[in-house]
Structure 1
Amino acid sequence: MKEKIITTGSSGQLGKSLTISFLVFEIIAYLFILLFVYAAWSKIGDFGSFSKAFIHSDYIGQHSKLLAIAILVAEIGISILLIIPATRRMGLLAALLLLLLFTGYLVLMFLKGNEMPCGCGGIISSMSWSQHLWFNSGCILVALFALLLNKK
């Protein structure tokens, strides 16, 4: 099956050709930029609560502040990678890795039955553990789809 090509240009001139898969990849990348910038921004806005959310975790406990800083740096770094066109694919790979790590943590908390507060900020913090797990799983599938569209 041939992929449709959208040609841009004026006065009948041949302009830049964009494939549908490229456009879908770009849209997904921009959605991930919004997600990671929003997540980082909301955590920075309430860093105290965000870093304290991990204190009671069996797995993290005393390293909660260090982990909070590492997550913020990762989210900001991923956002930067996604913003720069030349590193966009690497940014999606990094986003996928971070989402897999977050989801693994969520599965552990879900299976353990812990009623720990969510360290996420903004709207996402109001999700239950199972809602968070479904949201992350959806994001993982979208990231995988985008990466399959852009196999370079």
Structure 2
Amino acid sequence: MNKKILTEVIAALLALLFLYAGFSKLVNMPAFTRAMHNQPFPSWFADALIWTIPPAEIIFALGLFFDRTRKYAAYAYLILMGLFSLYIAAILLHLFPRVPCSCGGVIQALSWGQHLLFNLCFTGLALAFIFLIKQSGTESRPGDGR
């Protein structure tokens, strides 16, 4: 498969996941809010996450499609997926006094182990995407007008 096509396919897969996740949280905000307040961290932190995670997911997803923002969006995507994966790993390691449930939609049907594997697959795709954009030269460079 051509590297350009592969890059665009991976960008679409990454964006699809975050667009789905972000919009599903916004569409069902009361359930997302309850789920976030069921997490093992302070209420003020849950409130901050409620208002930052969905827009961040949508912004990062859209940023993957534009040369000027592609590299930054890819790194932001990688960081956010890495944080989500670490959180799930902490749950699996029983580092919290209770096991929260916060996923919606299709992902809700996954076990925590399956969810971690799913996240790690998308984290790997994000790494591959970063590698491909560096190799292809489609990353934004200051002053190049992209």
Which range, TM-score by smaller chain?
Answer: 0.7 to 0.9
Looking at both structures, which has the greater relative contact order when contacts are Cα pairs under 8 Å and sequence separation is at least 6? 2
Match of 2:127 among 124, 127, 144: 144
> Which structure has more helix as a fraction of its residues?
2
Cα deviation digits, residues 1-47 of structure 1 (max 9, x gap): xxxxxxxxxxxxxxxxxx92222111100111111111111111111
Relative distance call for 1:107 and 1:60 in structure 2 (3 A) is farther
**Residue 58 of structure 1: CA displacement?**
2.6
- Distance of 1:52 and 1:65 partners within structure 2: 10
- Distance of 1:61 and 1:129 partners within structure 2: 23
Match of 1:34 among 16, 19, 33: 16
Q: Larger radius of gyration, structure 1 or 2?
A: 1
Contact preservation (8 Å) 1:103, 1:137: yes
Contact preservation (8 Å) 1:43, 1:120: no
Q: How many residues align?
A: 133
**Which residue identity lines up with residue 79 of structure 1 in the other structure?**
A
- 1:89 equivalent in structure 2: 71
- 1:116 equivalent in structure 2: 100
Task: List gaps (5 residues or longer) in structure 1.
Answer: 1-18
Match of 2:57 among 67, 71, 75: 75
Task: List gaps (5 residues or longer) in structure 2.
Answer: 138-146
- Tell me the TM-score normalized by structure 2: 0.81
Moved over 2 A (4+): 56-63, 83-86
**Residue 116 of structure 1: CA displacement?**
1.5
- Tell me the TM-score normalized by structure 1: 0.78
Contact preservation (8 Å) 2:24, 2:105: yes
**Residue 143 of structure 1: CA displacement?**
1.1
Relative distance call for 1:150 and 1:84 in structure 2 (3 A) is closer
Give the percent of matched residue pairs that are identical in Structure 1 and Structure 2. Answer: 32
Question: How large is the Cα RMSD of the aligned pairs?
Answer: 1.8
**Which residue identity lines up with residue 21 of structure 2 in the other structure?**
A
**Which residue identity lines up with residue 113 of structure 2 in the other structure?**
S
